[in-house]
């Protein structure tokens, strides 16, 4: 029984069977006639059957050739269908936005404008640590977040493009003493317990960022709270715990709570577009173009004088693919 017959050999056979002429079949396949004849002889050897009768005037299918033709057509049709199903242009690109309403959503919206033929599907993983695991596993394609906060073994399997040095803020519960300030000095949080995703395995890069920011400032990381899935659940848990929350400055408005930018210094969260190394997709190209366009237009990669940035993060805020 023949094993692992190359599709090229079957395509050669079908072309000759359709044309019943080696010269025309070779032209149809854009190959030399000698190469086509060689492929037909190889297929005949692998099958142990003569597929064509050849004379100086004509080419005809043998009984075995007639028997093979429907099978060859069926195999090639399935092969082409498989290729189409996994073609970059055909399959949707799964894009994790982390949280609805953030800058990642603006990048996605612009990418959809740049590549309207692509299907870019939004997902919400809540943190880059969790999203990175999904990307490595092949269940997600792209995410946004602090690339330097991932373990080195995970970073080695991913590629990244810087998008923004995002200023950080604090989300305050109603009635908190700091809500009266237009901005909150970092030192004003001394003695506070601030929630930064502690205990959530999907947001470890954010908790690490908070620990670095709060170190030596007398600010505590709030203990783990139930992991809230969805905006409404997050709002409910926050209202119940009444704990300030460390967020990005463009975190979506939450009824009853007050968002205040952090200053003195302005802490920055380095945000990158992150994807699996080797991924080729026109949707990814559109996302990269959109991120670069918006970053250039709005100065997202400009750092304010005296801003705080985690030590070592600057090294990872550069493309590696």
Same fold, 7-85 and 93-316: no
At 160, the pLDDT band (50, 70, 90 cuts) reads: very high
Level-2 CATH architecture, domain 93-316: 3-Layer(aba) Sandwich (3.40)
pLDDT digits (tens, 9 = 90+) for 190-206: 999 999 988 888 999 99
**In which band, very low, low, confident or very high, does the pLDDT at 265 lie, cut at 50, 70 and 90?**
very high
- What pLDDT shows up at residue 240? 74
Residue 320 has pLDDT above 50, yes or no: no
In whole angstroms, what is the distance from residue 207 CA to residue 200 CA? 9
pTM, entire model: 0.71
- What pLDDT score does 57 carry? 81
The pLDDT value recorded for residue 246 is: 95
Mean pLDDT of 31-36: 91
Domain spans, the chain: 7-85, 93-316
Taking Cα atoms as reference points, which of 2, 10, 1, 25 lies closest to residue 79? 10
For residue range 83-138, what is the model confidence (pLDDT) as tens digits? 656 655 568 999 999 888 889 999 999 999 999 999 999 998 879 999 999 999 99
For position 316, what pLDDT does the model report?
Answer: 62
What confidence tier does 30 reach under pLDDT thresholds 50, 70, 90? confident
**Which CATH code is given to the segment(s) 7-85?**
1.10.10.10
């Amino acid at each position: 029984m023949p094993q692992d017959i190359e599709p090229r050999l079957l395509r050669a056979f079908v072309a000759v069977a359709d044309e019943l002429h080696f010269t025309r079949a070779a032209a149809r396949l854009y190959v030399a006639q000698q190469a086509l004849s060689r492929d037909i002889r190889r297929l005949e050897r692998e099958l142990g059957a003569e597929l064509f009768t050849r004379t100086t005037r004509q080419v005809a299918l043998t009984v075995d050739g007639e028997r093979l033709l429907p099978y060859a057509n069926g195999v090639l049709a399935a092969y082409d269908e498989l290729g189409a199903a996994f073609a970059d242009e055909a399959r949707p690109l799964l894009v994790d936005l982390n949280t609805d309403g953030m800058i990642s959503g603006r990048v996605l919206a612009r990418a959809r404008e740049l590549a309207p033929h692509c299907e870019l599907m939004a997902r919400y993983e809540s943190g880059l640590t969790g999203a990175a695991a999904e990307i490595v596993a092949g269940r997600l394609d792209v995410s946004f977040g602090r690339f330097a906060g991932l373990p080195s073994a995970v970073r080695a399997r991913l590629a990244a493009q810087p998008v923004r040095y995002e200023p950080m803020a604090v989300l305050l519960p109603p009635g908190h003493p700091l809500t009266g300030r237009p901005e909150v000095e970092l030192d004003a949080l001394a003695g506070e317990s601030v929630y930064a995703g502690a205990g959530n395995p999907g947001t470890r890069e954010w908790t690490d960022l908070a620990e670095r920011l709060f170190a030596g400032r007398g600010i505590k990381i709030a203990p783990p709270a139930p992991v809230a899935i969805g905006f409404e659940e997050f709002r409910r848990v926050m209202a119940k715990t009444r704990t300030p929350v460390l967020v990005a400055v463009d975190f979506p408005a939450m009824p009853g709570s007050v968002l205040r930018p952090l200053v003195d210094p302005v802490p920055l969260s380095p945000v990158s577009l992150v994807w699996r190394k080797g991924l080729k997709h026109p949707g990814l190209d559109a996302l990269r173009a959109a991120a670069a366009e918006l970053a250039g237009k709005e100065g997202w990669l400009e750092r304010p004088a005296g801003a705080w940035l985690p030590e070592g993060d600057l090294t990872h805020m550069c493309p590696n693919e």
